[in-house]
Chains A and B, each alone.
Chain A
Amino acid sequence: MDSEDNRETLTRRGLLLGGIVAAGGAAVLATGALAQGTHERGTSAAQSEPAAAQADPYATPPAHAGGHGDMMTVGEVDYARNGFDPFEVLTDWYTGTVSTTPDGRTLRTFEIEAIDKEIEIAPGVMFPAWTYNGRVPGPALRGKEGERLRFVFKNFGSHPHSMHFHGIHSARMDGVPGAGLVGPGEEFVYEFDAKPFGCHLYHCHALPLRRHMHKGMYGAFIIDPDPERHPEEADVARSRLLGTPENAKWQELVMVMNAFDTNFDGGNEFYAVNSIAHAYAKRPIRIEKSRPVRIYLINVTEFDPINSFHLHANFFSYFDTGTSLTPTLKAVDLIMQCQAQRGILEFSYAEHEPGQYMFHAHQSEFTELGWMGMFDVVEA
């Protein structure tokens, strides 16, 4: 019995030690909890200083926030590094170099290079793109109905590429495998007549098509109507023809609706017109209210079946594919386009009061992932 008691007391001492260890452990846990508590307080205090404006996410956004409030990408895209500015892309027509063929026709020669290039498609987000002339969308090519067009295409990329034009041309000029699809380091010259007039596009037709499309190989291809060929509607045709005084009255913009799948999961992370998410939301496009607006709108969005364009507080005429001089839709405020569908929008703010007018895809998801912008309508 004695020895039993002895063992018992000794064991209790052991237990005491165990208790100390347990208490120590509990103390460590408790300190951890305290540390977590203080960290939390520390950060919330730090947060309230720079972001006082966003203290109440449920409050109505202030007017200067342009109607999008806190729902916006953070930061700015470095356009200089990208080598193209979405504000220049809007009006930056590539009309080539003009010469005359032996039979007296106008020949326009365009030089296009396929280049692999990492571009910043949203603030801070880099995308390994395949480009025409280092930009996405590629240059907005523009000529006149009936001209001879020549495209000298050099592939400096790492994959085979081509230029496939939506227009009328021979099979040899189609830009598909076996007809103008060229490997890295190679060159091909596409040549055909500019027809039909309208708002078209070109894109790479190398396979897999889906990848070559969503990597950025597309651009606008505009053929202006020749007024002489359309005597009935010569005035309208002249207003569409770049370089005429009638055309100079218009504010013409090219908008290519595109999107980027940055994590290659078959769904887009960013949507935009002319690549840069929220670019025209953060800095509105200036519109002089006295001048009518014409938008060459092209959809190249991959993965999603359709895209759309909705104009706030206004209605527009729509010329599907731009191949007619009379509107195919009159007085609409929304149109939708499947991939490669395109058209011309014409509208005016002449009767409006100056202010900021929104435009965006009316698929809310696309809008909130970057495809929205503003027109800043000013007196002029």
Chain B
Amino acid sequence: MTEMATPTGTAPRNWTRWGWFALPLLALAAALAWIVAADPMRGFSDGAPPVEALTFERTILDDTGMHFQVRAGGSEPMTIAQMQVDDAYWLFTQDPPGEIARGATAWIHVPYPWVLADAHMVIALTNTGTAFEHEIAVAIPTPKASPGQLIPQAIVGMIVGILPVAIGLMFYPALRGVGRGGMNFLLALTVGLLAFLLIDMSEDALELAAESAALFQGPAMFILAAGATFLLLMAIGRWRGTPAGLALSFFIALGIGLHNLGEGLAIGAAFAAGSAGLGTFLVVGFAIHNITEGIGIAAPILKEKPPLWSFLALTLVAGFPAVIGLWLGSLATAPQWSSLALAIGAGAILQVIVEVSAYLMRSNDRKPAILLSPPVIAGLIVGLGFMYVTAAFVKI
């Protein structure tokens, strides 16, 4: 009886509730209308010019000159009055023309005959005379998405991403026979290398966040995106039980893959900015640096018999994003999107750190004390140490 009565009884109550929801919204609308109409802030306008902010997000150099995507972030729409390149005013076109609204972007095209391998200083001057500087450290043509560019970039991406993971996974047969202690060491090694990647990525992401327009709130965006990714992946991973074995390997591969996407972005951006002639030394450095990633992916499946295809899949999941990253990065992507990609990667890495540690405990009769045992501590230190030392090859 009661159950039958409920639906009819709740219907009007629902309407009432929606009505109550409307009340504060209507109050907000009324308040905004009043603020706009009455302008109570008028008393504060003391003749000060509007606050202006302009961020150069993308820079493209080609045979028609220089092209910049800029984002306005001032308190009012902004007007770019003149463009200076190396202390000279140059004709420019803006697309779309006119004022740039807060948060909006526009392309600035300057037919400047830039000089290969030179540095150029670009200044956008607004109608209030405020100057926004942008440095082109080394002028080189921005890579274009053409087969001639994509293929060599893909090869570099494969050397940096896929090759080391594949080589690392080849340790699988050799490592299969390890005992409990050896297993703990390898899992701890994985946690150590992941911890290094997390620190490395966070640093890069925050650096990019600082370059992005203030309205993206770069650092907050990084923490929120990383946190959300972590929680989402934890929830997905633990949908039905905790991940172990091959599933855990895939999660590790996913986290490492997102990290390699970030690494690819960085290398691609270095290409685009001309700030790094990517030498053989650097590529070899990346390859050695990333070999441990393959060992880490293999650790959870050492006691299982995964099908052969899974090794191929693991390699691609972990390694191929480096190729994608390189492609995207070389097209001079805006810093906030690169930062966001890295934040997602950082969240994914954090999730696998938690899951591998949980797996480590679980496979040792759920004793937390195992985390302080000599093989685990040794594994952590070796993992972190190896990554730190090999990273020295790739940091410029």
Contacts and interface: CB of A to CB of B under 8 A. Distances in A.
Nearest to B112: A57
Interface string A45-59: 011101100111110
Interface in A27-64: 29-30, 32-33, 36-37, 40, 43-44, 46-48, 50-51, 54-58
A187 interface: no
Interface stretch (A67-75, A220-228, A231-239): A67-75
B88 A71 contact: yes
Given A8-B245, A11-B241, A262-B130, A70 B344 contact: no
A269 B233 contact: no
Contacts of A36: 331, 333
Interface string B107-136: 101011110000000000111111100000
B232 interface: yes
Given A124-B127, A369-B88, A17 B236 contact: yes
Contacts of A10: 239-241
Contact of B89 (A7, A51, A58, A370): A370
Contact of A57 (B65, B79, B254, B327): B65
Interface in A271-308: 277-278
Given A36-B331, A57-B65, A262-B125, A51 B109 contact: yes
B233 A263 contact: no
Nearest to A25: B344
A73 B89 contact: yes
- The size bracket of the interface on A is 35 or more
Nearest to A365: B87
Interface stretch (B3-11, B90-98, B161-169): B90-98
Given A37-B145, A44-B64, A278-B89, A124 B81 contact: yes
Interface string B252-275: 001000000000000000000000
B246 interface: yes
B290 interface: no
Contacts of A56: 63-64
Contact of A263 (B130, B145, B333, B341): B130
- The size bracket of the interface on B is 35 or more
B93 A51 contact: yes
B244 interface: yes
A171 interface: no
B74 interface: no
Contacts of B145: 37
Contacts of B244: 7-8, 11
A19 interface: yes
B89 A15 contact: no
B55 to A, nearest CB: 16
Q: Which of A43, A56, A75, A260 has the most CB of B within 10 A?
A: A43
B286 interface: no
Nearest to B236: A18
A359 B344 CA distance: 58
A152 interface: no
Contact of A14 (B112, B241, B333, B337): B241
A263 B130 CA distance: 5
Contact of A33 (B91, B95, B114, B331): B331
B247 A15 contact: yes
A203 B125 CA distance: 28
Interface in B301-333: 321, 324, 327-328, 331, 333
**What is the interface of chain B mostly: helix, strand, loop, or mixed?**
mixed
Contact of A21 (B63, B232, B245): B232
Contacts of B324: 26, 29-30
Interface string A66-91: 00001111110000000000000000
B250 interface: yes
Q: Which of A74, A127, A278 has the most CB of B within 10 A?
A: A74
Contacts of A126: 127-129
A12 B246 contact: yes
A74 B84 CA distance: 11
A5 B258 CA distance: 29
A365 B85 CA distance: 11
Contacts of B327: 33
B47 to A, nearest CB: 9
A361 B182 CA distance: 77
A3 to B, nearest CB: 10
Nearest to A124: B81
A11 B245 CA distance: 9
Nearest to A13: B240
A182 interface: no
A18 B254 CA distance: 9
A262 B60 CA distance: 28
B91 A47 contact: no
Contacts of A269: 84, 125, 129, 131
Given A124-B127, A365-B88, 13 more contacts: A7-B241, A11-B247, A26-B324, A36-B331, A44-B64, A47-B64, A54-B91, A57-B64, A72-B91, A74-B81, A75-B81, A265-B131, A269-B131
